[in-house]
Amino acid sequence: MTTTTLRRWFVVHKWTSLICTLFLLVVCVTGLPMLFSEQIWDAFVGDDDPPYEVLPPGTPNASLDVMVAKARVMFPGQIVTQVNPDDDEPAVLVSMAPSWQALKDDEKYPDRHSGHWIKFDARTAKVLKQSPPSDAPKKPRTWTGIILGTATRLHMNLFAGLPGALFMGVMGVLFVASLVSGTVLYGRYMKRLPFGTVRRDRAARLTWLDLHNLLGAATLAWALVVGFTGFVNELQTPLFGLWRITDVRQILKPYAGLPEVSQAHLSSVQAAFDTAAKAAPGNKVTGLSFPGAPFGSPVHYVLWTHGATPLRGRLFTPVLVDARTGALTGAYPMPWYLRFLEISRPLHFGDYGGLPLKVLWALLDLVVIAVLVSGVVLWAAKRRIATDMRLRALGFDPDDVETVPTLGEAMR
């Protein structure tokens, strides 16, 4: 490698690192509470749900049609919008609203929430809990909720919505570029030294440099994966938007002009779940949207299924079931770019291997914070050395306190 090429790699590493360091520090710091958000919430807030009834093992679940019917009796005149079985508990959430139009109007008024839900015991169809009515006084947010919510929004988009998410995606690309260029430089730097050498008997700046390089090399593979998947995750809004205006629009085009099916004449919800499970073998049905839902069909149940393993659990396959007849219309696997996006999520957040993997992710995150901080220290030290050399060339002694008032003139 020529000196000119090496110098170019150094410039790439220097500026990509400096530009993204501040934002990477924000991402790394906010990522720590996000990793353990479930544990933090359970420890400081918990929930006030009543305990589940103790039943013999293997007790079958009640029919979803029974729960939907109970919900309609409790709130006559309203529509059911979604049915969502819980993945972790024997519970089912039935969501309702005055109308689809009311839900659309809620988007214009953030303080108004027309929708509500009812939580049923999946085995007995008994009501466990309801969301408070829309006109009920709101509970004050807990400090835990405020901290976790703030960390999440800072991590994802800096409170700037889609522009902020795209900006953070660019920072992710710069981070990957800094890792690649740093690896190239490290190979040349360690050519005459044993791997992992930290020279503690030399100048402090050399010790910092050795630690920076060693920690960066040790976490290189993890940092590349997390940096790249972070960039991919920031593209979720435009990628899902692309899917909706291409594949989804094409699938639903034959039904776009049909009138919405009345909820009084819908086929069985339980049968729709069973049909979707057969249409996507090996997958678990995790939710159902009723006809008329946004980005849905006026005559179909839209059911979402996902895989059973931790990684495949992120791969969703939507299934359309005709709500008039209960017949299967089709299962439509997501395009490759959305499947890639969904697979990247557990790799980024480390939430597919339980608490031990989260602890490992947190430790690696702390090491990356150390790499970022040491990089800033090295840059500041080099700037100071360059400034000192310039002052000496001008006849000033940087260590002489009496010259401090004239430094401004010297720098001119």
Six-digit token string for 382: 């080099």
Of the residues 305, 330, 349, which one is the last residue of a structural domain? 349
Between 32 and 136, the higher pLDDT residue: 32
Question: Up-side HSE of residue 45: CA atoms within 13 Å toward CB?
Answer: 15
Q: Which domain holds residue 304?
A: 64-136+236-349
Is 407 domain-assigned?
no
Rounded average pLDDT over 371-375: 90
Integer-rounded Cα radius of gyration of the chain: 28
Is 170 domain-assigned?
yes
16-20, 84-88, 110-114, 153-157: the lowest-pLDDT one: 110-114
Rounded average pLDDT over 322-338: 94
Confidence of residue 226 (pLDDT cuts 50, 70, 90): very high
Same domain flag for 229 and 251: no
Same domain flag for 257 and 189: no
Same domain flag for 89 and 215: no
Same domain flag for 247 and 343: yes
Same domain flag for 240 and 327: yes
Same domain flag for 229 and 364: yes
Is 116 domain-assigned?
yes
Domain count, the chain: 2
Q: Are 114 and 101 in contact (CB under 8 A)?
A: no
Q: Which residue has the tokens 């629009």?
A: 249
- The 3-state DSSP class for residue 364 equals helix
C-alpha span between 127 and 121 (Å, rounded):
6
Q: pLDDT tens digits for 171-202? A: 999 999 999 998 888 877 777 777 767 777 77
Residue 165 φ/ψ, nearest 5 degrees: -65, -45
The rounded Cα 213 to chain-centroid distance in angstroms is 29
Is 326 domain-assigned?
yes
Between 82 and 376, the higher pLDDT residue: 82
Rounded average pLDDT over 48-65: 89
Is 81 domain-assigned?
yes
Asked whether residue 385 carries a pLDDT value surpassing 70, the answer given is no
Same domain flag for 128 and 240: yes
Residue 319 φ/ψ, nearest 5 degrees: -125, 135
Is 58 domain-assigned?
no
Torsion sign (Cα): 214, 219, 220, 226: negative
Same domain flag for 130 and 257: yes
Same domain flag for 253 and 370: no
What pLDDT is attached to residue 410? 38
Six-digit token string for 237: 């809004």
Is 338 domain-assigned?
yes
DSSP string, 204-250: HHHHHHHHHHHHHHHTHHHHHHHHHHHHHHTTHHHHHHHHIIIIIHH
C-alpha span between 398 and 382 (Å, rounded):
15
Of the residues 328, 349, 370, which one is the last residue of a structural domain? 349
Between 405 and 217, the higher pLDDT residue: 217
Is 302 domain-assigned?
yes
* Range among 36-50, 138-152, 213-227 with highest mean pLDDT value: 213-227
Mean pLDDT value across the chain: 86
Q: Which residue has the tokens 């293997």?
A: 58
Confidence of residue 412 (pLDDT cuts 50, 70, 90): very low
Torsion sign (Cα): 200, 204, 209, 214: positive
pTM for the full model? 0.84
What pLDDT is attached to residue 402? 47
Same domain flag for 184 and 225: yes
Read off the amino acid at residue 240.
F
Between 134 and 301, the higher pLDDT residue: 301
Q: Are 352 and 346 in contact (CB under 8 A)?
A: yes
Q: pLDDT tens digits for 16-27? A: 999 999 999 999
Of the residues 327, 349, 371, which one is the last residue of a structural domain? 349
Q: Are 236 and 338 in contact (CB under 8 A)?
A: no
Read off the amino acid at residue 189.
Y
Same domain flag for 8 and 122: no
What pLDDT is attached to residue 378? 83
Asked whether residue 398 carries a pLDDT value surpassing 80, the answer given is no
Asked whether residue 399 carries a pLDDT value surpassing 60, the answer given is no
Confidence of residue 411 (pLDDT cuts 50, 70, 90): very low
Q: pLDDT tens digits for 32-51? A: 999 999 899 888 887 777 88
Same domain flag for 102 and 250: yes
